[in-house]
């Protein structure tokens, strides 16, 4: 379907927030789901790009969904040049999205770089729907330029812990060091973790939470050709599955229980 871009702004060097007007997507998208976006109208790039939904919002009374993306290659570079008012071809929403546990008391979000994108929508929904929910955000990046969306979590009264590899904001080092300390000191059976970011970060969070039997959902990012379960190009190795040892990140995920993945 063709939808109209209502905003495409650089929010930090190399990171853009793109909003598209779509009542259908705004109505039907759950946190953690994604759309497949055609970039350009010729054969190079050929395939659609999987883009996680970052937020659902209202702009001038138009229901919108927002994407948050980092310019990393040809597709995202072309996306960054898209203009307000331009039509763009999208399919979706696809994927399972996060499962929100009932009566959850403590939610811990762990984000690396642009991995914050789906967690912002998830946190907002969880805080809105729950009573008495305590939220924590552990967010990391190479430098302060890569630490995004803090204001979204401040609004939710989330306790925020920042780590940057060069020390330009928050603790110096990897975000998983802070997560490790938190788990040792504070986390208990009441907490649930939700993580999105680089593979190595997800792997580390998965190991840390597994040690204490803390539930943890991870959102994976994979190259995809279709996004709806036909190409089998995006698979991830799982500990068990119905159709062998791989699952589709597009239709079985992109969100998985961390202990389901063969890291």
Partner 1 sequence: MSIEPKKKKINLSVEIAGIQFQNPVLTASGTFGYGMEYTDFIDLNLLGGIVVKGLSIKPSHGNSPPRMVETASGMLNAIGLQNIGVEVFINEKLPLLKKFNANIIVNFFGDTQDEYVLAAERLNDITEIAALEMNISCPNVEKGGMTFGTEPKITEELVRKVRKVTSSPLIVKLSPNVTDIVVMAKAAVNGGADALSIINTLLGMAIDIKTRCPMLANVTGGLSGPAIKPVALRMVWQVAKAVDIPIIGIGGIMNAQDALEFIIAGATAVQVGTANFIDPSISVKIIEGIKNYCQKDKIGDIKDLIGTLRS
Residues that bind partner 1 (CB under 8 A): 38, 43-48, 91, 222-226, 228-237, 243-246
| Chain center to CA of 244 | 27
- At closest approach, how far in Å is the CB of 242 from partner 1? 9
- At closest approach, how far in Å is the CB of 91 from partner 1? 7
Gap between the Cα atoms of 57 and 26, Å rounded: 8
199 contacts: CB under 8 Å, gap ≥ 6: 220
Nearer to partner 1, 210 or 246 (CB): 246
Nearer to partner 1, 23 or 244 (CB): 244
58 contacts: CB under 8 Å, gap ≥ 6: 64
Nearer to partner 1, 94 or 193 (CB): 94
- At closest approach, how far in Å is the CB of 71 from partner 1? 16
Nearer to partner 1, 171 or 251 (CB): 251
Gap between the Cα atoms of 227 and 1, Å rounded: 15
Q: Which pair of tokens denotes residue 84?
A: 């307000």
- At closest approach, how far in Å is the CB of 54 from partner 1? 23
Gap between the Cα atoms of 58 and 61, Å rounded: 6
- At closest approach, how far in Å is the CB of 77 from partner 1? 14
Gap between the Cα atoms of 182 and 2, Å rounded: 45
- Name the residue with tokens 């059976």: 189
Contact 250, 50 (CB under 8 A): yes
Nearer to partner 1, 17 or 247 (CB): 247
C-alpha angle with apex 204: 151 to 76, nearest 5 degrees?
A: 55
- At closest approach, how far in Å is the CB of 214 from partner 1? 27
Nearer to partner 1, 75 or 170 (CB): 75
């Amino acid at each position: 379907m063709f939808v109209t871009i209502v905003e495409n702004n650089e929010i930090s060097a190399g990171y853009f927030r793109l909003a598209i007007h779509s009542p259908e997507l705004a109505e039907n998208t759950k946190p953690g789901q994604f759309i497949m976006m055609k970039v350009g109208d010729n054969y190079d790039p050929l395939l659609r790009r999987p883009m996680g939904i970052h937020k659902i919002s209202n702009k001038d009374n138009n229901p919108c969904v927002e994407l948050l993306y980092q310019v990393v290659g040809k597709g995202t570079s072309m996306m960054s040049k898209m203009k307000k008012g331009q039509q763009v071809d999208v399919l979706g929403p696809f994927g399972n999205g996060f499962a929100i546990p009932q009566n959850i008391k403590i939610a811990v979000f762990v984000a690396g770089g642009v991995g914050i994108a789906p967690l912002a929508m998830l946190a907002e929904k969880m805080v809105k729907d729950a009573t008495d929910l305590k939220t924590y955000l552990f967010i990391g990046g190479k430098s302060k330029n890569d630490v995004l969306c803090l204001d979204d979590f401040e609004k939710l009264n989330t306790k925020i812990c920042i780590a940057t590899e060069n020390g330009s904001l928050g603790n110096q080092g990897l975000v998983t060091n802070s997560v490790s300390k938190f788990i040792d000191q504070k986390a208990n059976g009441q907490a649930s973790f939700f993580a999105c970011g680089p593979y190595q970060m997800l792997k580390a969070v998965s190991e840390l939470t597994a040690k204490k039997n803390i539930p943890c959902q991870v959102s994976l990012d994979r190259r995809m050709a279709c996004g709806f379960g036909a190409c089998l190009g995006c698979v991830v190795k799982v500990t068990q599955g119905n159709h062998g040892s791989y699952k589709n990140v597009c239709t079985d995920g992109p969100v998985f229980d961390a202990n389901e993945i063969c890291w």
